[in-house]
Amino acid sequence: RTSRHPGRSPIIRGIPSTQNYFKLSEPTEAPKEMLSTLNSAKDNSPSNNIKGAAKAAAAAAASNQQQQLRSNQWAKSAGLRGRLSLDPGLLDFRPGTDGRVLDTVRLLRGRLAARHGDFLLAAAAAAGSAKEAEAMIKEATALEELPAETTAVAASAEVSAPTSGRSICGKKIGDGDGEEKRAEKGPGFEPDWSRFEGAFSKEMLPAEQGYEGTVSFITEVVDLLLEYLHRINDRSNKVLDFHHPHQLREALSHCLEIPVEPRDLEQILSDCKETLKYAVKTGHPRFFNQLSSGLDVIAMAGEWLTAATNTNMFTYEIAPVFVLMEEVTLQKMREHIGWESGDGILAPGGSISNLYAAMVARYNRFPEVKMRGMRAVPELAMFTSKDAHYSVKKSAAILGMGMDSVYLVDTDNRGKMLPEHLEQLIGLARSRGQEPFFVSATGGTTVLGAFDPLDAIADVCERHGLWFHVDTAWGGGVLLSQRHRHLLAGVQRADSVTWNPHKLMGVTLQCSVILLPERHIGLLQGCNGMQADYLFQQDKQYDVSYDTGDKSIQCGRRNDIFKLWLSWRAKGDEGYGEQVDYLIDLANYLCQQLKKRPGYEMVMEKPDFVNVCFWYVPEKFRSMKPGPERDSAINEVAPKVKALMMESGTTMVGYQPLGNLPNFFRMIVSNPAATEADIDFLLDCIEKYSAEIFDDQPDEAGIGGGGGPAQ
């Protein structure tokens, strides 16, 4: 291994001299560019001479399988049976392990895939041309000079891509439309998967000879994903290719059903492509339909690695790194709330996080409920606002208290809970013989984006001895913004907090957290722990407090932490703060445009958050007097306009009624890829489709049914 000590030359242990290692029986002429690169090198350290020797061997990689096998033998005879790992600016040889080749054609196309062979063929061998090889050598090593022997070897070498001649199931996998051609043609190039015909999954890893086929298959999947990434960020592409359920079932009839006999890998790749074709592009800059939108590439990379590790999160012995990541990340989140320490766990969604809060609150008040159930406690009462998420009612149903145990508190005209009404309802519940125990406030309601007055609600809870939960699944990300964290003033007084990084922070689904302050450490374990002796033994050789799975309501628990940790590392607090600020600024831009354009009416003036709710009134309805008839007419606008949006695929935005209000558009500005131009495009679409539906006007705006605007 290479020493990293400053001021010392790198040392590679166990590697003999480079003298006479590489001899070619059939020398050919090397490309001038490669020879120039090798001749220009200069460094006298033994380790780098070995690097140079390996480079020369790599340069000798031939264009057919027979010569490639000879190259493997050259590397083997050199004593360089090792694994080459490419970091930017570093070649690190690790002797003594089975050698594999990193296919730098893949690395050059994004380092999203690595291809391994039998023995060491260094970077130049894997490059598809002398030009690529030269660039890779310059990037990957700091060599300045090579010994004469290796320069001579390079002079008789020919550089070419080693992909040609590999096979899966007896079929060539590097022939035809190869990687270089696809890279040259760019996004939209149709791959040739015919080489996978008759190849099946059982022939990939862990099959004994399954490595090459696995690499080839996974590489094609990566290509599909890269193509998809290009499409979702290209505004000329549709947000969705909408079909009604029966139409989509018919379109996918050839691949939707699960067969008895296996399908070959050619069909499996086709299935992947068809799936992406009909999937809604939630990362598209013009997707405004849900609270979670956009696609964080770092989080996506974390998801890939999470799937590869396939780790269960119940014990430290199974998931040591990820358990530590969870501890560090949850502590970071608690600090942003304002707690020095505490407890918490990741959950599969905000609804389950809210369920945890209600469970722990009930256990804290009535610990006997764990053993004896609801017969051990009086009739209970919970409280939340009329605009709160439905999961509070669902929690009451799941916990056996019933939905009618949930009292809905009135809100003001901006959707915020009224603390004085909360206090009245607490008194009402007690007068009915019920025992109030739990209040759930909201930090960012689903529809209006309202933030309840947390300090005032906390005061009520303290007076009555009630558990104070804050459901900030939607709005939790504002804590990372110095400009907007005031929206959650008072959150530090909570007994529990729900926070969904997969929403405002943009981490890939799903990623939700339940957090508790220091005073409640141990409640999750006490409420949910079962001490299963086949998992949570107390006599392990490490600190078993890191076996966090027993405080979960699950046994098997997915690793949702890595993507969050990785994204946070990439962005830092500052990056997330800037993202939140940008989204709120963009929502304010939308509000300004609604005031400038004719026909728009806002449900709520100057929203606090990124939820912007509004009506569009087609010209033919604008002269109608306020009343039921006008409301009835306006009620049809949003559903019909959205239907046309979906059928054309141009954009997506939500709609809904609220109380006695007719249907309105609920615009969620949570996609960091969106711009002011995308906001303008959405409004143009609403006006254009409304005119088509209600005013019988032709498509003069040129928006049409495609994905892009008229230019």
The CATH number covering residue 695 comes to 3.90.1150.170
Tokens matching residue 694: 């209600």
Same domain, 337 and 443: yes
Tell me: pLDDT of 279 over 80. Answer: yes
Q: For residue 635, which amino acid is it?
A: N
pLDDT band of residue 50 (cuts 50, 70, 90) is very low
pLDDT of residue 62: 32
Q: In what helix (H) or strand (E) does residue 467 lie, and over which residues does it extend?
A: strand 467-471
Tell which wins on pLDDT, 295 or 34.
295
Same domain, 488 and 434: yes
Tell me: pLDDT of 120 over 50. Answer: no
Q: Which domain holds residue 595?
A: 282-311+571-711
Tell me: pLDDT of 388 over 60. Answer: yes
Backbone CA torsion sign across 441, 447, 449, 453: negative
Same domain, 255 and 298: no
pLDDT of residue 37: 41
Say how far apart CA 614 and CA 339 lie, in whole Å: 38
Same domain, 110 and 181: no
Tell me: pLDDT of 453 over 50. Answer: yes
Say how far apart CA 329 and CA 511 lie, in whole Å: 12
Same domain, 157 and 174: no
pLDDT of residue 241: 94
> Of 478, 546, 550, nearest to 325 (Cα)?
546
Backbone CA torsion sign across 336, 337, 338, 340: negative
Asked if residue 15 is part of any domain, the answer here is: no
Asked if residue 549 is part of any domain, the answer here is: no
pLDDT of residue 187: 57
Tell me: pLDDT of 658 over 70. Answer: yes
| Domain edge (last residue) among 473, 498, 526 | 526
pLDDT band of residue 545 (cuts 50, 70, 90) is very high
Decide if 597 contacts 352 (C-beta within 8 A).
no
Tokens matching residue 608: 């606090």
pLDDT of residue 625: 94
pLDDT of residue 142: 39
pLDDT of residue 662: 97
Q: In degrees, to the nearest 5, what angle opens at C-alpha 382 toward C-alphas 379 and 383? A: 150
Decide if 334 contacts 406 (C-beta within 8 A).
no
- For residue 510, is the peptide bond before it cis, meaning its omega torsion is within 30 degrees of 0? yes
Decide if 498 contacts 471 (C-beta within 8 A).
yes
pLDDT of residue 266: 96
Tell which wins on pLDDT, 156 or 239.
239
If DSSP codes are grouped into helix, strand and coil, which group holds residue 652? Answer: strand
pLDDT of residue 696: 56
pLDDT digits (tens, 9 = 90+) for 198-255: 999 999 999 999 999 999 999 999 999 999 999 999 999 999 999 999 999 999 988 8
pLDDT of residue 293: 81
Q: How far from 58 is each of 2, 11, 15, CA to CA, in Å?
A: 20, 21, 17
Tokens matching residue 436: 């109030």
pLDDT of residue 189: 63
Q: For residue 196, which amino acid is it?
A: F
Average pLDDT of the residues of the chain: 79
Asked if residue 10 is part of any domain, the answer here is: no
Average pLDDT over residues 611-631: 95
pLDDT of residue 160: 33
Average pLDDT over residues 519-527: 97
Q: For residue 544, which amino acid is it?
A: V
pLDDT of residue 128: 39
pLDDT of residue 534: 87
Domain count, the chain: 4
Asked if residue 597 is part of any domain, the answer here is: yes
| Domain edge (last residue) among 165, 188, 212 | 165
Pairing of strands 467-471, 496-499: parallel
Same domain, 286 and 422: no
Same domain, 705 and 577: yes
Asked if residue 18 is part of any domain, the answer here is: no
Mean pLDDT is lowest, of 474-488, 525-539, 566-580, for: 525-539
Q: What is the percent of the chain with per-residue pLDDT over 90, rounded to a whole number?
A: 68
pLDDT digits (tens, 9 = 90+) for 60-72: 433 333 344 444 4
Tokens matching residue 382: 């919970």
Mean pLDDT is lowest, of 173-182, 505-514, 668-677, for: 173-182
Asked if residue 21 is part of any domain, the answer here is: no
Same domain, 677 and 696: yes
pLDDT of residue 253: 87
Average pLDDT over residues 14-35: 34
Tell which wins on pLDDT, 94 or 336.
336
Same domain, 46 and 94: yes
Say how far apart CA 138 and CA 158 lie, in whole Å: 18
Same domain, 407 and 511: yes
Same domain, 589 and 659: yes
Tokens matching residue 507: 């981490």
Tokens matching residue 256: 């939707």
pLDDT of residue 188: 59
CATH of residue 482 = 3.40.640.10
Tell me: pLDDT of 291 over 50. Answer: yes
Tell me: pLDDT of 171 over 70. Answer: no
What's the pTM?
Answer: 0.75
Q: Which range scores top for mean pLDDT: 49-58, 408-417, 527-536?
A: 408-417
Same domain, 148 and 57: yes
pLDDT digits (tens, 9 = 90+) for 316-328: 999 999 999 999 9
| Domain edge (last residue) among 118, 134, 165 | 165
Alpha helices in 233-349 (DSSP H): 245-251, 265-278, 297-309, 320-337
Tell which wins on pLDDT, 516 or 160.
516
Asked if residue 538 is part of any domain, the answer here is: no
Backbone CA torsion sign across 318, 324, 327, 333: negative
Tell me: pLDDT of 73 over 60. Answer: no
pLDDT band of residue 292 (cuts 50, 70, 90) is confident
Asked if residue 176 is part of any domain, the answer here is: yes
Contacts of 161 (CB under 8 A, 6+ apart): 63, 105, 126, 127, 128, 129, 174, 178, 179, 180
DSSP states of 517-570 as a string?
Answer: EGGGTTHHHHHH----TTT--TT-SS-GGG-GGGGSS-SS-B--HHHHHHHHHH
> Of 96, 174, 179, 93, nearest to 140 (Cα)?
93
pLDDT band of residue 186 (cuts 50, 70, 90) is low
Tell which wins on pLDDT, 115 or 619.
619
